[in-house]
A and B are shown apart, each in its own frame.
Chain A
């Protein structure tokens, strides 16, 4: 069995060490005895969603998001089919805004894929936040970091309930196996349980009743525990 990972726009949406997510996924899948092919794709490359088992996109600056949007739009139907079929896709940072209706930047508004009904807007102030959150997936907290200048008005299918010192709010989107979140950076490395969940989702889609081998994520588990100890919330 070969699993194909598509790292979309690796050279345009790459502000926060996103490649780490792809590398850890490849490593863990290989440790399960599975062949992995990673396709690093960007504008100018043809996209073939039917061939992918996992799609990943990271965070980018405004100009790059606009470039990506133009390249991605013709694939709307393919992407919808991909998501509806229950295949797994993870968008960290502002890239998940591309799946809403439009993004309003200070000087322009761009029409985006419109797969979901929310719209996004760039704000004056950046929101910088240590993430400590609950998800539907498991009891353990999801940890991470957020540094965003934009926000959206999504009202349903939230991915996370984020607890911060001052407030608690819902964020992100979880629809079938599509995950979008403003949490950035190597979130699959920082959250070994999320990594395991995604591996099992990918493999369940590949073959019914796939039997997973034991995971060896010693360093990741320790880093996760260390982070919880440093945190107050």
Chain B
């Protein structure tokens, strides 16, 4: 019986892959045939799960690349689904008809709300936890709901690799019976002296309910925190970004990594990948070599010119304020006069709700030297309403619901152009610009 389920599922996988539906459907079919299919396939010796509210895809992909280039036989679901069926499909793809695993390691990106379901089946040996923040509330509920799911999912013998700067993630790690490996960041020129963001989740001590004190804050509630009333504090970091140079970062004063991505949250992803790989025993020099200038899916940073003005497009897989705040932080650090374009075609691929409350968690209030703020897409008026309470004068807020038409507004504006685009807007915007540039 055991082999029949694997046999049929592998055939399905083969056919479905040919027609481009090989990501989660084969897993779904396999689970129908045998709900315990994963128990019948060997696990690779190293089973890494990457989870958290953001940074999963990039971090998992980097770990995968490092392992692959260092001789591991390794698989990763970054192009597929991060729910249970996608994981089953990946297992099926990499096992023999007798259920023998052909891999040394697997690097799984796991949707945080499904960690319990997935971990119960795959038993990760290493769990990388990037952060826990408010994110897509119609799907996830509040951050505490996500916290409880992850808490119940991480098994006691797993190694937990945790962002030490996120007080919610570390609270979880303090209850973890297995080993904790911490990573974090020192103060840098983008750090704040205290809590300033609109977007704050836990800022009270989870042990004694006193408000946490911060030596510095990287963004939202992430930074160097401690409680003045009890012993709750940011744990010591095994891996720390100690220097921030132009297009490079240095870890533990020794290991430099070149990077084109300039936002702090991205540095956290690189650091998480480095920490995980170093802990696995891969020589640090080999890790840095592999992570140098790594190119990522979904993380683009385009730059071109429109009538002698520099245009930078900042895109990401943004579905929450935390990632938008990184873009805002980047723009805020550019001191010149600028025009900002902001918008999206739809709010989420995954739910139909028109909740726009997260717009108020984005720190537009910090922007300075803004000539014009152009709100684009079907939610342009909602964005303009949001911007109107920041202190940017209403006469400097423009609206354009048709994204392709935005370029026509640009001659009325001044300064370099920063376009924070998401969810189906990027291509239309570039086409509009190109028409005028001709």
Contacts and interface: CB of A to CB of B under 8 A. Distances in A.
B389 A15 contact: no
A61 B385 contact: no
A112 to B, nearest CB: 18
Interface in B371-422: 378-379, 381-382, 384-386, 388-389, 394, 397, 399
Given A17-B198, A20-B360, A219-B385, A230 B134 contact: no
B388 A145 contact: no
B415 to A, nearest CB: 22
A49 B198 CA distance: 25
Interface string A54-67: 00000001111001
Name the residue among B211, B356, B357 with the largest chain A CB count within 10 angstroms.
B357
A186 interface: yes
A11 B199 CA distance: 9
Interface residues of A, number: 41
Contact of A189 (B141, B142, B385): B385
A162 to B, nearest CB: 15
Name the residue among B141, B356, B386 with the largest chain A CB count within 10 angstroms.
B356
Interface in A1-47: 11-12, 14-20, 23-24, 27, 42-44
A230 B356 contact: no
Interface stretch (A75-83, A113-121, A173-181, A220-228): A220-228
B357 A23 contact: no
Given A15-B137, A61-B144, A147-B138, A128 B209 contact: no
Interface in A135-154: 145, 147, 149
A218 B211 CA distance: 39
Contact of B209 (A62, A67, A184): A67
Contact of A130 (B144, B198, B353): B353
Interface string B203-244: 110000101000000000000000000000000000000000
Interface in B93-123: none
Contacts of A172: none
Nearest to B139: A128
A20 B142 contact: no
B359 interface: yes
B345 interface: no
A126 interface: yes
Contact of B381 (A19, A62, A63, A219): A219
Name the residue among A126, A216, A219 with the largest chain B CB count within 10 angstroms.
A219
A185 interface: yes
Contacts, number: 104
B142 A226 contact: no
Contact of A17 (B195, B360, B397): B360
A219 B384 contact: yes
Contact of A219 (B357, B360, B397): B397
Contacts of A24: 389
Nearest to B147: A61
B354 interface: yes
B156 to A, nearest CB: 23
Contacts of B143: 61
Interface in B336-374: 351, 353-361
B290 interface: no
Contacts of A11: 195, 200, 203-204, 211
Nearest to A145: B355
Given A149-B141, A219-B384, A219-B388, A185 B356 contact: yes
Contact of A20 (B195, B353, B355, B389): B389
Interface in A191-233: 216, 218-220, 222-223, 225-227, 230
Given A16-B137, A24-B389, A27-B389, 12 more contacts: A19-B360, A20-B360, A20-B389, A61-B143, A128-B351, A130-B354, A145-B356, A186-B357, A219-B381, A222-B384, A222-B399, A226-B382
29 contacts: A11-B200, A14-B200, A15-B134, A16-B137, A16-B357, A17-B357, A17-B360, A17-B361, A20-B359, A20-B386, A24-B389, A27-B389, A42-B211, A64-B204, A128-B138, A128-B351, A130-B353, A145-B356, A149-B141, A218-B394, A219-B381, A219-B384, A219-B388, A219-B394, A219-B399, A222-B399, A225-B381, A226-B381, A230-B378
Query: Would you list the 3 A-B pairs with minimal beta carbon distance, nearest first?
Result: A17-B360, A185-B357, A223-B381
Interface of A: 11-12, 14-20, 23-24, 27, 42-44, 61-64, 67, 126, 128, 130, 145, 147, 149, 184-186, 189-190, 216, 218-220, 222-223, 225-227, 230
